[in-house]
Structure 1
Amino acid sequence: MGSNKVFEHLLEDLSSFCNPITIDLAGHGQTESPNEQKYYTAQRQVQQLYSIIQRLKFGNLYLYGYSMGGRLAFQLIASHPELFSGVIIESSHCGMVSKSERTERQALDEKRAQKIEQNFEGFIKEWTTLPLFGQTPDEMKLVYNEIMKSQNPKTISASLRRFGAGVMPSVCDKISKLNLPFSLIAGKLDKKYVDRMTEIHKSLNHSNLLVVENAGHRVHADQPEEIIQILKSFVS
Structure 2
Amino acid sequence: MRNTINGVSYFYQWLQPYRPALPTLVALHGFTGSSESFRPVFAEEGSYNVLAVDLIGHGRSSIYVHPMRYELPLLVEDLAQLLAKLGIERYGLYGYSMGARIALFWAVMEPAAVTHLLLESGSPGLADPAERLARQRHDRRLALRLLREPLVDFVDYWQELPLFASQKELPLVQQAAVRQGRLQQNKFGLAVSLVYGGTGKQPSCWSALPQLACEILYLAGEKDVKFRKIAHQMKQLQPEMTIKVVANAGHCIHLEQPTQVRHEIDQWFVKGSGPQSAD
SS in 2 for 1:97: coil
Query: Where do 1:163-182 residues align within 5 Å?
Result: 163-182=197-216
Give the aligned CA root-mean-square deviation in angstroms: 1.4
Write the deviation string for residues 157-191 of structure 1: whole angstroms up to 9, x where unpaired: 01110011011101221232122110001101111
Residue type of the alignment partner of 1:3: S
Residue type of the alignment partner of 1:164: G
- Which of 129, 137, 147 lines up with 1:99 in the alignment? 129
Write the deviation string for residues 60-118 of structure 1: whole angstroms up to 9, x where unpaired: 52110000011111111110011122110000111101122112211111111011101
SS in 2 for 1:167: coil
Report what 1:67 is aligned to. Answer: 97
Q: CA–CA distance in 2 between the matches of 1:71 and 1:115?
A: 24
Q: CA–CA distance in 1 between the matches of 2:203 and 2:68?
A: 15
**Higher helix proportion, which one?**
1
Q: CA–CA distance in 2 between the matches of 1:179 and 1:43?
A: 20
Q: CA–CA distance in 1 between the matches of 2:126 and 2:35?
A: 26
Residue type of the alignment partner of 2:145: K
Report what 2:148 is aligned to. Answer: 118
Report deviation, 1:227. Answer: 0.2
Q: CA–CA distance in 1 between the matches of 2:89 and 2:73?
A: 24
The yes-or-no answer on 1:235 pairing with 2:269 is: yes
Report what 1:208 is aligned to. Answer: 242
Q: CA–CA distance in 2 between the matches of 1:46 and 1:188?
A: 30
**Higher strand proportion, which one?**
2
Q: CA–CA distance in 1 between the matches of 2:238 and 2:262?
A: 23
Report what 2:192 is aligned to. Answer: 158
Write the deviation string for residues 129-168 of structure 1: whole angstroms up to 9, x where unpaired: 1222122223432222111111111111011100110111
In structure 1, runs of 5+ residues without a counterpart are: none
Report what 2:160 is aligned to. Answer: 129
Query: Where do 1:76-95 residues align within 5 Å?
Result: 76-95=106-125
TM-score between both structures, scaled by the size of structure 2: 0.81
SS in 2 for 1:82: coil
The percent identity for this pair of structures is 26
Q: CA–CA distance in 2 between the matches of 1:142 and 1:55?
A: 37
The yes-or-no answer on 1:37 pairing with 2:67 is: yes
Report deviation, 1:205. Answer: 4.3
Write the deviation string for residues 18-75 of structure 1: whole angstroms up to 9, x where unpaired: 1111000000000023243121111110111111111112255211000001111111
Q: CA–CA distance in 2 between the matches of 1:112 and 1:34?
A: 19
